[in-house]
Amino acid sequence: MSAQPAGNLPPSPENPLAPPSEVGHIVTQLRRMIVHELDVRIQEEELTSDTSLIDGRLALDSIVLFELITLIEKRFGFEFSDQNLRMEVFASLTALAQHIHHATAQSKQAAAV
C-alpha cells in the first residue's frame, strides 16, 4: 500500500472517527487559535464544536481562513492538500478537528515507515 500525502484523506474503513477526547482537545486548540491569533471579534465561549467557519456568526473571509490554515499547518505539522481545501472540512470546528486528527495520524504513520 502506498502512502498518500498528508492531508489527502479519502473516506475509508482505515480512517475511522477519532476518539472524542482527541477531537475535543483539537477543537479547544482551534477555538483558542481563532480567538487569540486571528483578527476576529468573537469570544471563545461563543465558539462551539458545531460552529461553522464559513457561515453564520463566524463567517471567516478567505484571507482570515488562509491565515487559520497556515496556523494549523504550523501547529499540527502537516499541509492541507488541494483536494482537502473543501467546504466540508470547514463546516464546523468538529469537522476541521476530525480532519486535523486524521492528517496528523497519517503523517505519523508515513514517518514511521
Number of domains making up the chain: 1
CATH number for 42: 1.10.1200.10
Instruction: Using alpha carbons, list the distances in angstroms from residue 26 to 8, 9, 18, 38, 83.
Output: 19, 18, 11, 17, 22
Average pLDDT score over residue span 64-85 = 93
Cα 40 from Cα 28, distance rounded (Å): 17
Q: Would you say residue 12 lies in a domain?
A: no
Q: pLDDT confidence of 83, banded at 50, 70, 90?
A: confident
Q: Would you say residue 82 lies in a domain?
A: yes
Residue 84 clears pLDDT 90, i.e. is over it: no
- Select from 76, 86, 24 the least CA-distant residue to 54: 86
If you average pLDDT over every residue of the chain, what do you get?
82
Residue 101 clears pLDDT 60, i.e. is over it: yes
Contact, 106 vs 33, CB < 8 A? no
Average pLDDT score over residue span 73-77 = 94
Q: Would you say residue 7 lies in a domain?
A: no
Q: Which residues contact 84 (CB under 8 A, 6 or more apart)?
A: 7, 8, 9, 99, 103
pLDDT tens figures, 13-40: 344 555 668 999 999 999 999 999 998 9
**Domain with 91 in it:** 20-112
Q: Would you say residue 39 lies in a domain?
A: yes
Q: 11 or 19: whose pLDDT is higher?
A: 19
Q: Would you say residue 56 lies in a domain?
A: yes
Q: Would you say residue 38 lies in a domain?
A: yes
Q: Would you say residue 37 lies in a domain?
A: yes
Helices (runs of H) and strands (runs of E) counted in the chain: 3, 0
Residue 12 clears pLDDT 90, i.e. is over it: no
